[in-house]
Structure 1
Amino acid sequence: MKYCSDCGASVTLRIPPGDTLPRHVCASCGTIHYQNPKIVVGAIPEWGERILLCRRAIEPRHGFWTLPAGFMENAESTAEAAARETLEEACARIEVGDLFTLISVPHINQVHIVYRATLLDLDFGPGEESLEVALFEEKDIPWDDIAFRTIALTLRHYFEDRRRGSFGTHNASIALPPAATVP
């Protein structure tokens, strides 16, 4: 950040009084510009023993499979974001259920939230950000082609919980592996 979005003057990176972290501070009007993590919200759309996955039509990870998920918008709840993203990416309507995973991804300044959800019908198809959308049984999940570690972790927890017959909420943090460049 070089310029203040409030007045257009130059900003400097410094620790403001009463704070502990460097922030972009406007030299003219004194506005402190906080940069906070982005929230990614998604769903595990269930239909019986199968779950709905989307094959990405966009980068990052074009061509890889994921749960319907994306960045939360202002003025919506996390559950509303999960339903909207599922509709946008899979043209699918869902009933959002319980929170399932909350995963911190500090090296990219994100928090990923995934809900369990029930598909309301089988009227789904690829949205603009998906090449294809399909229902998968556990044995058919394309594990080597899952787009993101947070999604793979969520799916592993989901199938472990389902085998156990009891679903809980999973809270985790994904650390950056040494010399890693993959998401």
Structure 2
Amino acid sequence: MNFCSNCGNSKLEYIIPEGDQKQRFVCNECDTIHYQNPRVIAGCLPIYDGKILLGKRAIEPRYGYWNLPAGFLENGETPNDGALRELYEETHAKGEAKHLHTVFSLPNYNQVYLIYLVALSSDQFSKVTSESIDVELFEIKDIPWDAIAFESTTFAIKKYIENPTNKEANIGHLIKEQLH
């Protein structure tokens, strides 16, 4: 962080503020403490007639790999609404969110995924969208495991396969060792 977003001052210190336990950027001019918190990703595991809808990414990272529809939650949006928005943006499909299926955290990347199980309204979707170079409904046996974009998608799909009627959220995380 180079400048205070409150006053524009460049005199920031990276210290543990009084009463806190973590180092934070603190402005010496206006005493603003700058908290940097994880970003929330809202997504869904869309199901139609026992098949899972995946999109092949048209954007980086992981261009050309298959993924569940997901993206950053917008301000003023509920995670449920964000998941359904992402479903439509990436596949042009519509559905109903049944329940929270997965909470998957990536502490090294400051991200938390909230993935909802979604019952698709129909088998209607676009094969290509601005965010997907291909969209396909996969039978469980045909899921392209070697071409899945992210561990969060793999985890969510595997948990669904293990117990498709489970209504409790599956909790997972991926922590990568940092090189020093």
1:127 alignment partner, one of 119, 126, 129? 129
Percent identity between matched residues is 43
Superposed displacement of residue 121, structure 1: 2.1
Q: Which residue of 2 aligns with 1:157?
A: 159
Amino acid paired to 2:144: P
| Cα distance change on mapping 1:159 and 1:177 into 2, 3 Å | farther
In 1, Cα distance between equivalents of 2:113 and 2:58: 20
| Cα distance change on mapping 1:29 and 1:92 into 2, 3 Å | same
In 1, Cα distance between equivalents of 2:109 and 2:131: 21
Q: Are 2:68 and 1:67 equivalent residues in the alignment? A: yes
Could you tell me whether the CA contact under 8 Å between 1:161 and 1:168 is conserved in 2? Answer: no
Q: For residues 112-151 of structure 1, what are the structure 2 equivalents within 5 Å?
A: 112-125=113-126, 126-151=128-153
Q: Which residue of 1 aligns with 2:50?
A: 49
SS in structure 2 at match of 1:89: helix
Superposed displacement of residue 177, structure 1: 5.3
Q: For residues 18-29 of structure 1, what are the structure 2 equivalents within 5 Å?
A: 18-29=19-30
Could you tell me whether the CA contact under 8 Å between 1:161 and 1:167 is conserved in 2? Answer: no
Unaligned runs of 5+ in 1: none
Aligned positions, number = 177
Provide TM-score, normalisation by structure 2.
0.94
Q: Which residue of 2 aligns with 1:12?
A: 13
In 1, Cα distance between equivalents of 2:177 and 2:139: 30
| Cα distance change on mapping 1:178 and 1:8 into 2, 3 Å | closer
In 2, Cα distance between equivalents of 1:18 and 1:38: 24
Could you tell me whether the CA contact under 8 Å between 2:47 and 2:120 is conserved in 1? Answer: yes
Instruction: Please give the root-mean-square deviation of Cα atoms over the aligned residues, in Å.
Output: 1.4
Moved over 6 A (4+): none
Q: Deviations over 1:5-51 (max 9, x none)?
A: 11100222111111111111111111111000011111111111111
Unaligned runs of 5+ in 2: none
Q: Deviations over 1:110-152 (max 9, x none)?
A: 1111110011123311321110111001001000000001110
Could you tell me whether the CA contact under 8 Å between 2:99 and 2:167 is conserved in 1? Answer: no
Q: Are 2:38 and 1:37 equivalent residues in the alignment? A: yes
Provide TM-score, normalisation by structure 1.
0.92
Q: Are 2:2 and 1:2 equivalent residues in the alignment? A: yes
SS in structure 1 at match of 2:163: helix
